[in-house]
Structure 1
Amino acid sequence: MLELGQVDKASDTPAFKQIATALRAAIRSGRIAPGDKVPSETQLREHFGVARMTVRQALGELSAEGLLVAEHGRGVFVRERPVVRRVASDRFARRHREAGQAAFIAEAEGVGVPSVDEIEVGSEVASGDVRDFLSLPARSRVVARRRRYLMDGQPVELASSYVPLSIAKGTAIEKADTGPGGIYARIEEAGHALAEFSEEVAARMPSPEERRRLRLPAGTPVLTVRRIAFDINGLPVELTDTVKAAPSYVLEYRFPAN
């Protein structure tokens, strides 16, 4: 069996944590590669000289971290590393829209094959949050666009966008296919040249529905990004809430030093 060292029974660190540390180091060093099956409970119990429950606690800790995935009837495996995508601050640059690329396509370039499914588009009364962020009066309507993004067939992001109906009405924003450049290109064509974006980033555990739609192993967190687009007059013209599979992303931002 793979060399994992031994449990120091004189240590103040619980045995299950020592075993988890040894397995974690083996995974991160590549000695146990993504997709590999880890030693069985019986093998680990005999190797470390501990009770079965101790081994299960160690495996449970690593599963909660998203490093391991249990497959019924097959064993426990190191979770495959997903494609890492960089979310850079220039993904909303006008040059991408002029080249016919929406933000998701721009940031995915050179990484994999992007696609979108589960698209829902329709007009609805803005919720309180949406209304507040878009500075809309009560009972205002928005065009809501909800979709799931995939990279090489693997779900990586859920997104819900809201554009005031006064801007979106009669444009391709009301259609599933918004055309080259995406909704930001259509917003600018409607007379709202974009000036800046604000983003609020947080992390949390997914809801059961989010976990199902993103096909996330147990214990895998998500990143949430709330983005507001402003036109040159300072008017908020679009709000997007995204839920991203955290292991699939590296957030990269560039700021001026002055």
Structure 2
Amino acid sequence: MSKEAGSPRTRAVRDNGRHQWEKDRARRPRPTRAGTGATEHDTGLAPHDLVFLARYRRTDAPEDLADAFGVPEGTALLERTYRTRCADDPAPFSLVTSYVLYDLVAANPDLLDESKEPWPGGTQHQLHTVGVEVDRVEERLTARPPTPEEARELRLPPGSTVILLRKTSYGIDDRVVDVSHVVLPADRTELVFTTRLERW
């Protein structure tokens, strides 16, 4: 039986430690990378509990993304749209749209093929295959009411709020290598930030 909008849904706990966890796995053997992904990490679910959808398309960089990547407006980007949900729930955990420079990832033709998703090791491993090491990840959060389309896709009740997350990944040469826009349903998402301080 599928879950309706008013019934309890699986919560996702998004901890910023997930980025180091992903990086640590980027150079591991494929069986290790394929065993679990970021959604399983955030929800505690197993791969067989999930339904995953990815759609890719080539697009031209609008002004804001061109500025972020430091490239001319109209530069080719690969836009990747992801939806992951519980097998018994029609609503995805989040609405994710990720952008990478088309010419960068085209060095590995497999990275242009949506049928290769879910990619074992995620974006950090994908970038690793074209010689990119992620140095840091910046995440900016805001909140607002959902658009009608977001409310419909996330199966949100009236009066709901969504959390908007803009995630920017930087390579070790300080260039932007990925920009992701994530829409998270506030009623079933917990954000946890742990700041580790070096001892004196």
TM over 0.5: yes
Counterpart among 74, 78, 83 of residue 148 in structure 1: 83
Equivalent residues in 2 for 1:235-246 (5 A)?
235-246=175-186
CA distance in 2, matches of 1:199, 1:188: 21
1-structure distance, mates of 2:189, 2:80 = 22
Are residues 1:134 and 2:63 paired? no
Query: In structure 1, what is the equivalent of residue 14 of structure 2?
Result: 87
What per-residue deviation string (whole Å, max 9, x for no partner) do you get for residues 167-219 of structure 1? 11133331213431122211011011111100001111100011111111111
Indicate which of 148, 156, 162 corresponds to 2:99: 162
Aligned-CA RMSD value: 2.1
- Structure 1 distance, partners of 2:46, 2:12, is 7
Whether 1:115 aligns to 2:51 is yes
- Kindly report which structure 2 residues correspond to 1:8-27, keeping only aligned pairs within 5 A, or say none: none
Q: Among 148, 173, 176, which residue is 2:111 paired with? A: 173
> 2:168 — aligned with what?
228
Map of 1:171-210 to 2, 5 A cutoff? 171-176=109-114, 177-178=116-117, 179-210=119-150
Pair member with larger Rg: 1
Q: Distance in 2 between matches of 1:137 and 1:114?
A: 38
CA contact (8 A) 2:59 2:76 kept: yes
Counterpart CA distance in 2 for 1:134 and 1:109 is 33
Query: Offset of 1:111 from its aligned partner?
Result: 7.8
Relative to structure 1, the CA distance from residue 185 to residue 203 in structure 2 (aligned partners, 3 Å threshold; closer, same or farther) is same
Change (3 A) 1:237 1:102: farther
* TM-score when normalising by structure 1: 0.64
SS for the counterpart of 1:155 is: coil
Q: 1:125 pairs with 44, 60, 65, which one?
A: 60
Mean alpha-carbon deviation: is it higher for 221-230 or for 180-189?
180-189
Q: Note the residue ranges of structure 2 that are not aligned, 5 or more in a row.
A: none
In structure 1, what residue type is equivalent to 2:9?
P
Percent identity of the aligned residues? 20
Q: Distance in 1 between the 2:46 and 2:166 partners?
A: 24
| Letter in structure 2 aligned against 1:144 | E
| Offset at residue 130 of structure 1 (A) | 1.3
Question: What's the CA shift for 1:123?
Answer: 0.9
1:183 aligned counterpart, secondary structure: helix
Aligned mate of 1:104, from 21, 24, 39: 39
Structure 1 stretches (4+) deviating beyond 4 angstroms?
Answer: none
How far the C-alpha of 1:136 sits from its partner, in A, is: 1.6
Give the Cα–Cα distance (whole angstroms) in 2 for the partners of residues 209 and 141 of structure 1: 27
Whichever residue aligns with residue 15 of structure 2, its letter is A
Alignment partners' CA distance in 2, 1:102 and 1:111: 9
Aligned length, in residue pairs: 181
What letter is aligned with 1:184? Answer: Q
Extract unaligned runs of 5+ from structure 1. 1-34, 36-68, 70-78
